[in-house]
Amino acid sequence: SNADRELREEAIWKHARSSSPRSLETLNRIANTDGEVELQEEAIGAISKRPSDQAVPLLIQIAKSHPRAEIREEAIHRLGRINDERAREFLKQVITSDK
């Protein structure tokens, strides 16, 4: 229901503000297994707010392997907003593989 969804979104953003490894694991699980696209995108947004040493590897993994194209695209979009060499290298690979 909408109320449940709102609570889930609030929980996602509370996990984003937490520095615990368990919170990051929870966000990754939601991004990869939750049935609702909007909640998966929220989790990806929350992951992208974490320090880049945590966020970049997870976002690259999601961008490479998530079964939903829209979720892979969201991860790629978020990688483009992170100032990190690993993110830039991955995006270069994505761009050149399309040619």
pLDDT score, position 74:
97
Q: Residue 3: pLDDT band by 50, 70, 90 thresholds?
A: low
Does pLDDT of 1 surpass 70? no
pLDDT digits over 13-44, tens only? 899 888 899 999 999 999 998 678 999 999 99
pLDDT score, position 34:
60
Contact 62, 71 (CB under 8 A): yes
Between 42 and 8, the higher pLDDT residue: 42
The rounded mean pLDDT for the chain is 91
- The predicted model gives 80-96 an average pLDDT of 95
The span from the CA of 7 to the CA of 24, in Å, is 18
- The predicted model gives 72-91 an average pLDDT of 97
pLDDT score, position 46:
95
